[in-house]
Structure 1
Amino acid sequence: MNKTLNIIGGGMAGSEAAWQAAQAGIDVVLHEMRPNVATFAHRTGHLAEMVCSNSFRSDDNEQNAVGLLHWEMRAAGGIIMAMAEQHRLPAGGALAVDRDPFAAAVTAKLMQHDKITVQHDEIVELPEDGHWIIATGPLTSGNLAEAIRTETGADALAFFDAIAPIVHADSIDMSKAWMQSRYDKGDTEEERTAYVNCPMDKTTYEAFIDALLAADKTEFKEGETAGYFDGCLPIEVMAERGRETLRFGPMKPIGLTNPHHPDVKPYAVVQLRRDNKLGTLYNIVGFQTKMKYGAQTNVLRMIPGLQDARFARLGGIHRNTFINSPTLLDDQMRLKSRPNIRFAGQITGVEGYVESAAMGLLAARLAVAEITGASLPPVPATTAMGALVSHITGGADAKTFQPMNVNFGLFPPVDGLKSGRRGRKDRYKAYTDRAKADWQAWLAAVPALA
């Protein structure tokens, strides 16, 4: 019997899956079509390349569900979290990374592993036999997407993802902008000054919204009716929902004091986060956009401090494909019609780098158990990992299934705790304490995979 695990896609999920299986002693072939077949968003041939953002979001593992997911992946020896820690950038309470060295480090670790073979080929059909994980992410090739549609007998679901612009740091006017993390959050001075802040008064904000709404934008092709994932909305779409939406979203001014005018409260603030270790590049936080390039530079240069900005990368939009997992996958993440194939990562309907990598980790461990004949207990739904996989493999309503970030709303309630805002801190701590204990017990259930 062939005990090799084949993985299609070398993004976050595929890279984590390859590492987990190889560390358990399984031979892995990782199929990545780049750089031979390019995508809209990727710039390199590196595995685990980050395109939309350089942030893994909050690293708080006691009060935040994604921080708990970080903790669970670290406890499982995850490569994505280990390399993120090595290439960490100051970002207040968030985990942001120097994206190119991070991807290069993940690539090197996988390429050097004696159990992993990386093949740069495009898989265009669903494999008939063997052990496979499909982790092709939001930019699944057209041929493979068509093969999935043919097999499942249903159209693949889709939405649109946007990416934010990146600015050269030396083109930011610091006589107008300043360095500060919101609420001065962070344990060091570097953490407390991790963001560049560009303030707006009411007149400037209103003019910015007018220009944003009037700007030329990329239009969808005929027949494209997919919507957006709420966690990655283009700024102009947010503005269309109401003129104040941005001011209560990515441009909220709370927790910030402008040292140039400390007695003047900004009406809105645009934040930029360091994008590389050198501090030469900054990305505009929450400023995903579908504006055309010419309009984009004009509108963004209306932001005080960015009037002379030079852009290392402008924003853009791309189609993001995912399957209706509650209908198509079993509780082992296998395709019901072809149980030799598992799906992992963003294509399953989880949203975010961390969630995608987590589903790669889990799919690999389930595949390894199957290959080796080990008996694995179900992943506890009380853990962040278990809450996510339970959601995508049956917990969600298949008729309204949409991409989902990890959140405490997916967890079973903890009995006896107060509800509402006043009891939230204690409730979240109870969730994380329970999850950590249950996750450690699950990892220890099969020592060979721990």
Structure 2
Amino acid sequence: MTREITIVGAGLAGSEAALQLADRGWHVRLLEQKPAHRTPAQSSDSLCELVCSNSFRGASLANAVGLLKEEMRRLGSHVMQAAEIARVPAGGALAVDRERFSGEMTRKLREHPRIEIVSGLVEELPAERPVLVATGPLTGDALAQDLARRLGSESLAYYDAIAPIVSADSIDWDKVFCASRWDKGNDDEDKHAYVNCPLDEEQYRAFVDAVRAAEKVEANSFEEVRYFEGCLPIEVMAERGEQTLAFGPMKPVGLTDPRTGRRPHAVVQLRREDEAGTAYNLVGFQTRMTWGEQARVFRMIPGLENAEFFRMGAVHRNTFINAPTCLDDTWQLRSEPGVYFAGQIVGTEGYVEAAAGGWLVAHFIAERLAGRDPEPLPRSTAHAGLLAHTRRHPDDYQPSNITFAHLPPWEGKRLQKRAKYEAMAERALADLDAWIARRAAA
């Protein structure tokens, strides 16, 4: 085994991938801009730096990220090992001492005999194959321009505009109706693809006032967010005029409330997020309102009074590619075999998701280098859920944390929400254990 793999970026995804590949006997050349250069968000010369929160989020298996972390432990994740060493008290969450965590990951990388760390700015995709790009949400301008040239500018985004996602179980179905505008579609399922939350004029005005008054998240100094007219935050539209939203994402044209026989004054449309219909996103509702304000304001919408949010809305600086269009099922570039991507640049949000993505791509690369077809993880797992997310919505692809909506729905007996999620986690871990055991015996 003398073949070398090149990895660009020593963040969570790149570091996990480098260690996994090196552990399997492959030589890794890890290209990292530190210490010569830093992104505006970085403040340390350590590798695998946590630039935002120090939290790896919830530990419970009733939480999708808790399941993902447990899967990572069972798969031998180096990031999870370092996180346990650097763990600090955080109630039901996994939080770490940032410096100790990054220090432990830096030690692992520098001491591994099959990893060579090369410092310097990478301005174009290296010629070596295989190569893994794991440069994160603040990918340098020159490299981003090179990727845009290769992928097409329409396949690379420089910020994300994320709409909230709500649980289908938390929608009050007595207050909403299902219909597509003008009853468009080839069959009943198409014609009823959207859930519509109707608002009368009084409800609409109260909602607009609440959006205007809500506390907003201030942009970080390094973000320099420039909004596109076709993807404006709802608060920006609300500030433009009382009826702007009613002529934008809340327009009621082509819709008739079957309970009144009339067109509502305004409508919030929910679009199915997954095939099973367990989650819906609020169409066009990208926002910079704080999470607490989002929950308060969006629960003013008829039918969403008790909404459970799988994901909150956001707008922030984030370089990511249109994974459903550009990548195959192993996150390899369709147009250039041997070029892989992992981490936030593929549209997975969060520290844990980035590290898990690094493990996945390392597995796929190692399998191919060993002359085997990459074996996917069981579909029931959260790791497979990350991959499933990157296969959806090529026309409106947006980053996301892992949620249970990315996993196959629970088909057993009807359970309360927490029990259902715990059952889905147990199913995933049982399938993963069987997968690991079978591979160990092969």
Q: Using a 3 Å threshold, how does the CA distance of structure 1 residues 88 and 124 change in structure 2: closer, same or farther?
A: same
Distance 1:432 1:129, change over 3 A: same
Aligned residue for 2:369?
Answer: 371
Is 2:440 aligned against 1:447? yes
1:123 to partner: Cα distance = 2.0
Determine the structure 1 residue equivalent to 2:406: 410
1:118-174 deviation digits (Å, cap 9, x = unpaired): 11122222234421110000011111111110001133113269xxxxxxxxxxxxx
What residue is the counterpart of 1:362 in the other structure?
Answer: 360
Once the 2 structures are TM-superposed, how far is the Cα of residue 360 of structure 1 from its aligned partner? 0.5
Matched residues in 1 for 2:216 and 2:135: separation?
34
Is the 8 Å Cα contact of residues 345 and 360 (structure 1) preserved in structure 2?
yes
Contact 2:323 2:347 in 1 (8 A): yes
Residues 364 and 375, structure 2, Cα contact 8 Å, conserved in 1: no
Cα shift readout 1:167-215 (whole Å, capped 9, x = no counterpart): xxxxxxxxxxxxxxxxxxxxxxxxxxxxxxxxxxxxxxxxxx9896799
Q: Give per-residue Cα distances to partners, 1:100-127, cap 9 Å, x unaligned.
A: 1110110011100011111112222223
What CA distance in whole angstroms lies between the structure 1 residues aligned with 2:385 and 2:218?
Answer: 41
1:123 has 2:122 as partner = yes
Alignment of 1:112-191 (within 5 A): 112-155=111-154, 156-159=156-159
Structure 2 counterpart SS, 1:334: coil
**Scaled by the length of structure 2, what TM-score is found?**
0.67
Partner of 2:38: 38
The secondary structure found in structure 1 opposite 2:38 is coil
- Secondary structure of the residue aligned to 1:127 is coil
Amino acid across the alignment from 2:404: F
1: CA distance, partners of 2:220 / 2:408: 42
Please give the secondary structure, in 1, of the residue aligned with 2:153: coil
Matched letter for residue 340 of structure 1: G
* Distance change >3 Å, CA 246–CA 111, structure 1 → 2: farther
Moved more, 426-435 or 329-338: 426-435
User: Residue 397 of structure 1 is aligned with which of 393, 400, 403?
Assistant: 393
- Kept after mapping to 2: 8 A contact 1:42/1:51: yes
Amino acid at match of 2:357: M
Gaps of 5+ in 1: 162-208, 249-288, 290-316
Q: Percent identity?
A: 40
- 1:213/1:45 Cα in 2 relative to 1: closer, same or farther (>3 Å)? closer
Name the structure 1 match of 2:423. 430
Change (3 A) 1:387 1:213: closer
Aligned to 1:87: 86
Q: How does 1:183-262 map to 2 (within 5 A)?
A: 220=224
Structure 1 residues 94, 245: CA separation in 2 closer, same or farther (over 3 Å shift)? farther
1:323 aligns with 2:316: no
Letter in 2 for 1:159: Y
Pair 409,124 (structure 1): closer, same or farther in 2 beyond 3 Å: same
Distance 1:436 1:237 in 2: 31
The equivalent position to 1:341 in structure 2, one of 331, 339, 352, is: 339
| Contact 1:159 1:227 (8 Å CA) reproduced | no
* Offset, 1:37: 1.5
Q: Is 1:388–2:381 an aligned residue pair?
A: no
Does the aligned pair in 2 maintain the 1:158–1:227 contact within 8 Å?
Answer: no
The CA deviation string for residues 409-442 of structure 1, in whole angstroms up to 9 with x for no partner, is 1111122331xxx622331122111111222233
8 Å Cα contact 1:377-1:445 kept in structure 2: no
Aligned match of 2:104: 105
Cα distance in 1 for partners of 2:357, 2:218 equals 38
Q: Find the aligned partners of 2:380 and 2:159 in 1 and give their Cα distance.
A: 29
Unpaired runs of 5+ residues, structure 2, are 162-211, 234-280, 301-313
Give the SS at the match of 1:342: strand
What is the alpha-carbon distance in structure 2 between the residues aligned to residue 423 and residue 215 of structure 1? 37
CA RMSD, aligned part only?
3.7
Structure 2 counterpart of 1:166: none
Kindly tell me: are residues 332 and 221 of structure 1, through their superposed partners in 2, closer, same or farther at Cα, counting changes over 3 Å? closer
CA distance in 2 between counterparts of 1:436 and 1:24 reads 23
- Match in the other structure for 1:204: none
**Structure 1 residue 374, shift from structure 2 partner:** 3.2
Deviation of 1:443 after TM superposition, in Å, equals 3.0
| Secondary structure of the corresponding residue to residue 338 of structure 1 | coil
Q: Deviations over 1:43-91 (max 9, x none)?
A: 0111110011000000112x11100100111111111111111111111
CA contact (8 A) 1:16 1:357 kept: yes
Once the 2 structures are TM-superposed, how far is the Cα of residue 377 of structure 1 from its aligned partner? 2.3
SS of the residue corresponding to residue 378 of structure 2 reads coil
**Are the counterparts in 2 of residues 326 and 398 from structure 1 also a CA contact under 8 Å?**
yes
Measured in 2, the distance between the counterparts of 1:107 and 1:320 equals 25
SS in 2 for 1:84: helix
Q: Deviations over 1:338-383 (max 9, x none)?
A: 1111100000000000001100110011101111113442222210
Is contact 1:344–1:363 with CA below 8 Å preserved after alignment? yes
Q: Is the 8 A contact 1:376 1:445 kept in 2?
A: no
2:57 is paired with a residue whose SS is strand
Go from structure 1 to structure 2 and tell me whether the alpha carbon gap of 1:382 and 1:217 turns closer, same or farther (over 3 Å shift): closer
